[in-house]
Amino acid sequence: MGYSKALMADSRARDPRAELSTKVVGRRVWRGGLEATAALLDLSLALRGDKPFVPKGVYRFSSFEESDAWLLRMMTRPAKLARRG
């Protein structure tokens, strides 16, 4: 069931909101989104190898600061420790 263009035009003419002007406050600039960060993600995955960023498991911390410090330490650790022999 469709509406005729005449009915739709008539309903817009009676709508008081149709007479209000629209003010543009700001504009969003498209910066590429995830496509722009794809190279950085590829680099970080290549550096980590098959080791995940954060080990699996449940972790308990006494504060958000302790959690953030642990997460930073886990994300910046080397992929494999060199064996001395």
Q: Which residues contact 54 (CB under 8 A, 6 or more apart)?
A: 71, 74, 75
Does residue 10 surpass a pLDDT of 80? no
Question: One-letter amino acid identity for 31?
Answer: R
Which candidate, 34, 40, 70, 35, places its Cα nearest to that of 55? 70
20 part of a folded domain: no
Residue 63's domain spans which residues?
30-79
DSSP 30: P
Residue 19 inside a domain? The answer is no
Mean pLDDT of 15-19: 61
pLDDT of residue 18: 61
55 domain residue, yes or no: yes
pLDDT digits (tens, 9 = 90+) for 22-79: 888 888 887 777 787 888 888 877 877 777 778 888 999 999 999 999 988 887 777 6
The number of distinct structural domains making up the chain is 1
**Residue 24 covered by a domain:** no
| Rounded CA separation 64/26 (Å) | 35
pLDDT of residue 74: 84
The Cα–Cα gap between 47 and 62 comes to 31
Residue 53 lies in a domain: yes
